[in-house]
Chain A
């Protein structure tokens, strides 16, 4: 039999134990919430600094003019904006068709060892250091042809776009119910027509999401551009000459020892962050409303 004293002893131990465990639980919850706050502070700080410092530099002249003489604080980032737009457009011309077709292959025909291999390497290259892709494009195109060119930049950026588009295409095609395909086949429609006319239409929003996220990522890339387009202070002269781009211009401006150049750098950063974040927020907002509760996964961000 347990005596009364023993029972009291047990109770004391039990209380102590439970209180200690609840305390640990509370501490952990607090620490974990602290982690979230710590991660959000930099984002807030970056946005505040870019908007306050950048808005001072913004003007119509700043957005359209070529850069002035170094250190004067005159001129603008017109060539950089033009270059970023040209590069995005050109690399989409390669990246989107190849990426979408690759996604179709993985989703519709990729149920074998070869498909799994491609899927694996596609994921691997999606997280790849972009500077390696830049120096690869440099060796392959710039060294062979002999000059820095829009083509080389386009090639490098399209490689960065490709895996993102392939993967989001595959994921969104796999979300289309299997019955749609079966219904198509039952009507005697050829497989390619089922895929392009039925499945792709159904998966449209996912496709657009992937393409836009890839564009947002490519817009912010700097490292590969150093090796391929070199940068320039003039508007584009042709596809086989150097060109400027926003991230490259930000980097150049930030390394100059003049306050006026740094102010312009913040202005360019504001333009760039507006492009990138508006695409990201817009896409995710639309996606969230459309695919609430589905297992669609958003692709992981930019580098």
Chain B
């Protein structure tokens, strides 16, 4: 039998419990504030030394006495890899979401969406391992080399020797990693579209595709954009798989030019160079500074995405009304 105290507790227990819960809830806010404070103080030396040229410069030299740091190639590299990943991932994810919400027979829906969600559960480092020793070779032989042979060195984006450790491989693996994120949220959003919208279109004689195009998409547009931006947020911050595949160029060489050249992203340079950076030096401050930039970028992306998604999917709102 469950025992429920009726009078044994003092008048204040309720208050204390509520305050305890409020403190636990506030913890998240405190962490965000602490992240900002720590990253700003930790990266202060680099801002003092480099100023705004830390954002715009491309030198990356950690030799003592000639130290110079510029993060521009990595910022650009982050957006290029994430952008290519979005270009591949968003159409495929939207297709998957459409299949799962509109077309798939009832029997298949749950197992299929479970399988898609399992893709999201695979740890990033295993994507990296698989990309490095399996996927890279297929990509190199079947896609990169033919493209390189067709377009040759004169075309800018396909120039360079296709070796597999480059921006293209990293972007494709990133695309695979963001597909489950985008498709599961998009599916939720499409399921939130009222059936009356679909029925109205069916009544006019629309085919499944026309129902999707004329009834579902206009209704869920902002949510679908939000889902894509959430995928962008994940692509921007993804570390391990990119670190293992992007090729790790530094300095001006890391400016993304050709798809088949090594690049570098903000997250990957932090993971790569951390072991070499001495504690307390300018090098580590530069890496923390990149962390601060990544923090601001990710915060902005995630906030926009959540505002857009929340407008469509209302289920995660409010508390219990007593």
Contact = CB atoms under 8 A, between A and B. Distances in A.
Given A98-B24, A197-B2, A43 B294 contact: no
A128 B21 contact: no
Contacts of B315: 295, 297
The residue in B35, B239, B319 that gathers the most chain A C-beta atoms within 10 A of its C-beta is B319
Contacts of B35: 132-133, 136
B96 interface: yes
Contact of A110 (B9, B25, B207, B212): B25
A166 B121 contact: no
Given A123-B306, A190-B9, A262 B133 contact: yes
Given A129-B267, A300-B185, A171 B92 contact: no
A303 B121 contact: no
Contact of B96 (A36, A111, A223, A288): A36
Contacts of B118: 43, 277, 280-281
Given A25-B207, A276-B122, A298-B117, A35 B294 contact: no
B295 A132 contact: yes
Given A109-B21, A124-B303, A40 B121 contact: no
A219 interface: yes
A107 interface: yes
B271 A223 contact: yes
Q: Is the interface of B mostly helix, strand, loop or mixed?
A: helix
A296 B97 CA distance: 18
B125 to A, nearest CB: 5
A118 B134 contact: no
A121 B18 CA distance: 20
Interface stretch (A66-74, A174-182, A236-244): A174-182
Contacts of A227: 274
Contacts of A127: 230, 233-234, 302, 305
Contacts of B16: 192
Interface stretch (B45-53, B107-115, B153-161, B253-261): B107-115
B76 interface: no
Interface stretch (A5-13, A44-52, A85-93): A44-52
A227 B135 CA distance: 28
Interface string B256-298: 0000000000010011001100011000000110010011001
Interface string B205-223: 0011110100000000000
A81 interface: no
Interface in B120-142: 120-130, 132-135
Contacts of A181: 320, 322
A143 B279 contact: yes
B237 interface: yes
A120 B306 contact: yes
A36 B112 contact: yes
Contacts of B176: 39, 42
Given A132-B291, A223-B267, A250 B39 contact: no
A266 interface: yes
Given A101-B20, A131-B270, A35 B92 contact: yes
B126 A273 contact: yes
B243 to A, nearest CB: 8
B71 interface: no
Contact of B123 (A43, A132, A166, A302): A302
A243 to B, nearest CB: 16
B122 A273 contact: yes
B4 A193 contact: yes
A58 interface: no
Interface string A106-117: 111111000111
Contacts of B117: 280, 284, 298, 300-301
A46 B126 contact: yes
A303 B320 contact: no
A250 B129 contact: yes
B318 to A, nearest CB: 6
Contacts of A56: none
Contacts of A226: 271, 274-275
B194 to A, nearest CB: 15
A135 B291 contact: yes
A25 B213 CA distance: 11
A135 B39 contact: yes
Given A223-B271, A266-B129, A301-B181, A49 B14 contact: no
B151 interface: no
B28 A25 contact: no
A220 B318 contact: no
Interface in B304-322: 305-306, 310, 315-322
Contacts of A150: none
Contacts of A38: 92
A301 B121 contact: yes
A12 B298 CA distance: 56
B105 to A, nearest CB: 12
Contact of A247 (B93, B185, B240): B240
B294 A39 contact: no
Nearest to A191: B14
Nearest to A288: B110
Nearest to A137: B38
A213 B50 CA distance: 43
A31 B212 CA distance: 14
Contacts of A198: 4
14 contacts: A110-B25, A118-B29, A124-B303, A131-B271, A162-B28, A174-B320, A220-B121, A222-B125, A223-B240, A247-B123, A298-B117, A300-B117, A300-B180, A300-B185
